Amino acid sequence: MPFHLSDARLTPPRVRSRDPEFYPMRYDSLKEFIARLDAEGELVRVRESVSPVLEIAEIADRVSKQPGGGRALLFENVEGSAFPVLINAFGSRRRTNLGLGDVERIARDIERYLKLPPPAGWVDKLKLLPMLFEAAHFPPRFIHGRAPCQEVVLEGDAVDLGRLPILQCWPKDAGRFITFPIVINRSADGRLRNIGLYRMQVFDKRTTAMHWHIHKDGAHFFHDYKRQNKTMEVAVAIGADPAVCYAASAPLPYGIDEFLLAGFIRKAPVSLVKCLTVDLEVPANAEIVLEGTIDPGELRTEGPFGDHTGYYSQDGDYPVFHVRAITHRRNAIYHTTLVGKPPQEDLYLGKATERIFLPLMRTQLPEIADMNMPAEGVFHNLLLISLEKRYPMQARRLMSALWGLGQMSFVKTIVAVDDTVDVQDVAAVARRVLSTVRPKRDLFFSEGVLDVLNHASDQALYGSKLGIDATAKIPGEPGHGEGPPAPPGPLPTAGAVQARFGELAGCRFLEVESSPPVLFASIDKIRPGQGRDFLNAFFAAPEFSSISVCIVIDLPVDLSDTSLLLWKFLNNLDPRRDLALHGERLGIDVTRKTAEEGYTQHWPEEIEMDAGTRARVDANWDKFYPEKIIS
């Protein structure tokens, strides 16, 4: 049976709310946000005893994959700990808006400040006063004395990370990981503060890893300390108000204080208090705070870890965080998140970033109309962008510029369309690409840095990138005045293809209305070059000449699940290596690569929960997530 692009989960629908409930949101603590979620019917309280080892993750994974992201979960009876666990708090459009306010409004506010004209006279200056008054509330404010996050203080032998309900998320994780830590540090010269989300593997009751990637600001600061052989002080807040939680994840330009962004979102300052054992400030109303140091000369193997790509990230050497003190609120709540095959909670935080940072991108690239990073691309594998096109090759210029712009530099594939195409409608973009793009003319390759978690390239950290120019051709461009490609002849059935090639485990057409279909074929790869050899034979067979695009992918893969199929395709693609033209037809080999094929990295395993955990959760599902709560 054929299947359609509309069957995929892809990106969730946009919410363009003008509801006053989303304008603006201000919470002074995580508990206030939880109370709002509870009042809005967006929270499920799980009172059944549950293990932090795999069980919470399995429950959260199932809930996050429900339509719209399910509900937030508060586990009130966690084995081995007195702290409740909150997860999936931001795991829907509505909950993100409840936490931050309407993200479209935040984007408009940013644009309002960016486009502020210089005052021409005293009347214009008077008009600026309300905005200046508002901006005075953005920077953080400092409080003296003990704060709520310091109601309980544990130092010395009392420090024990084992008291916290830290999760093991996936069966092949190296251990338990703190997955939503708001990590706070300062540059070696003391001038800049950095707040980021960097996972932390627990080694023992007083030490963890600090997993900051080579491209992140935390790693830049660390290497400055290492050059100067200075000990680095670090504080970690777990569970803060929603604006601070989000700001820690935001891709701000180097040197911009994330607490300032949180204040901008809240329209109120973040209250900070000085730590007790290190010279850093933390959110005064945080639930839990870890204080400690990192010796720049000490590294330890961290990982593997089931990551947001849906694969296990490889182990590696990372700095060691030594905990001096744990402080927390009375009756504190442990806030965490789960990452894995999409969709997960990080999708909705990422979509908020997409909307909030669009005005900032337009300051450098004003022709941008809109953008979309679909869930299946896990943010760094696929960007859909629309532009107001005014001159030849502008789309290629835009894509090249994006590959040099901040975290956009990690994006592997960019598809550019005219502003008449809604990039939030993925099927519409696919129709445009399949109906108008001619591979020799409209595909081009670049190369550059890639995300640390990209496993597809032959070497780590850099590789090839693909640009697809699906804009209408204008005077001066190749293809202007040409008609659309000739329609293909009668299509064979997928069964006919599979019967012709006995090595295929399965094949299906991905159909997009009014566009040529794409054939996906799966094989059980047993030798180097097998995917390429199949494509050569396929395109040489005259009975299949009406199929213009064929993609071969290896097992395990469920060809009936469009979303997971596209997720695997985008993860495993190295554009320059894997795309091959056969005349005007295109073959793409996204099977796993081997050393014999020039591959030098470690091809990771896909994340899957173990059967025992699934069975335990199945047996207690009505207690964990009562059917009557599901709407």
pLDDT in tens, 110-153: 777 666 566 566 555 555 455 455 556 688 999 998 899 999 99
168 and 293 belong to one structural domain = yes
428 in any annotated domain: yes
pLDDT at 252: 83
- Strands 549-554 and 585-589, sheet pairing: parallel
Least confident range from 208-217, 242-251, 410-419: namely 208-217
329 and 350 belong to one structural domain = no
Q: Is the pLDDT of residue 592 over 70?
A: yes
pLDDT at 21: 55
Alpha helices in 329-370 (DSSP H): 345-356, 358-364
Which residue, 434, 469, 504, sits at the end of a domain? Answer: 469
203 and 254 belong to one structural domain = yes
Structure confidence at residue 2 as a pLDDT band (50, 70, 90):
very low
CATH number at 366 reads 3.40.1670.10
- Tens digits of per-residue pLDDT, 458-491? 999 999 999 999 999 999 999 888 877 777 778 8
Structure confidence at residue 6 as a pLDDT band (50, 70, 90):
very low
Q: How far apart are CA 250 and CA 196, in angstroms?
A: 8
615 in any annotated domain: no
**284 and 273 Cβ atoms separated by less than 8 Å:** yes
188 and 308 belong to one structural domain = yes
Q: Which of 307, 346, 574, 589 is catalytic?
A: 307
SS3 of 21, please? helix
Q: Is the pLDDT of residue 631 over 50?
A: no
Mean pLDDT within 539-558: 94
Least confident range from 16-30, 298-312, 432-446: namely 16-30
| pTM, full prediction | 0.91
475: preceding bond cis by omega (within 30 degrees): no
pLDDT at 20: 45
Structure confidence at residue 18 as a pLDDT band (50, 70, 90):
very low
Q: How far apart are CA 60 and CA 180, in angstroms?
A: 15
Q: Containing domain of residue 145, as a range? A: 137-335
306 and 200 belong to one structural domain = yes
489 in any annotated domain: no
Structure confidence at residue 256 as a pLDDT band (50, 70, 90):
confident
- Tens digits of per-residue pLDDT, 497-519? 999 999 999 999 987 776 788 99
Q: How far apart are CA 67 and CA 51, in angstroms?
A: 25
The answer to whether 307 is a known catalytic residue is yes
Mean pLDDT within 597-625: 94
Q: How far apart are CA 290 and CA 316, in angstroms?
A: 23
Q: Is the pLDDT of residue 13 over 70?
A: no
- Tens digits of per-residue pLDDT, 315-324? 999 999 999 9
Q: How far apart are CA 216 and CA 223, in angstroms?
A: 11
264 in any annotated domain: yes
Q: How far apart are CA 443 and CA 436, in angstroms?
A: 12
pLDDT at 554: 94
155: closest CA among 329, 327, 334? 327
408 and 298 belong to one structural domain = no
339: closest CA among 165, 103, 175, 180? 180
Please state the domain count of the chain.
4
pLDDT at 484: 72
Q: Is the pLDDT of residue 576 over 50?
A: yes
Q: How far apart are CA 165 and CA 185, in angstroms?
A: 24
357 and 330 belong to one structural domain = no
Structure confidence at residue 544 as a pLDDT band (50, 70, 90):
very high
Give the contacts of 34 (CB within 8 A, at least 6 positions apart): 43, 72, 74, 86, 89, 333
Q: Is the pLDDT of residue 630 over 50?
A: no
Angle of CA points 37, 41, 47, to nearest 5°:
85
167 and 310 belong to one structural domain = yes
How do the residues of the chain divide into helix, strand and coil, expressed in percent and rounded to 5? 35, 25, 45
CATH number at 263 reads 2.30.110.10
Per the model's pLDDT, the better-predicted residue between 290 and 125 turns out to be 290
For the chain, give the mean pLDDT: 90
605 in any annotated domain: no
Q: Would the CA dihedral through 484, 486, 490, 491 be positive or negative?
A: negative
Percent of the chain's residues with pLDDT above 90: 77
**260 and 269 Cβ atoms separated by less than 8 Å:** no
Q: 482-516: string of b/e by CB count within 10 Å (b at 16+)?
A: eeeeeeeeebbebeebbeebeebbbbbbbbbeebb
179 and 322 belong to one structural domain = yes
Least confident range from 3-7, 67-71, 120-124, 316-320: namely 3-7
Mean pLDDT within 601-628: 90
pLDDT at 629: 45
388 in any annotated domain: yes
Q: How far apart are CA 604 and CA 592, in angstroms?
A: 9
Percent of the chain's residues with pLDDT above 70: 91
612 in any annotated domain: no
Q: Is the pLDDT of residue 533 over 80?
A: yes
Which residue, 63, 86, 116, sits at the end of a domain? Answer: 116
28 in any annotated domain: yes
310 and 353 belong to one structural domain = no
pLDDT at 547: 92
pLDDT at 304: 96
330 and 351 belong to one structural domain = no
209 and 321 belong to one structural domain = yes
pLDDT at 1: 41
Per the model's pLDDT, the better-predicted residue between 3 and 210 turns out to be 210
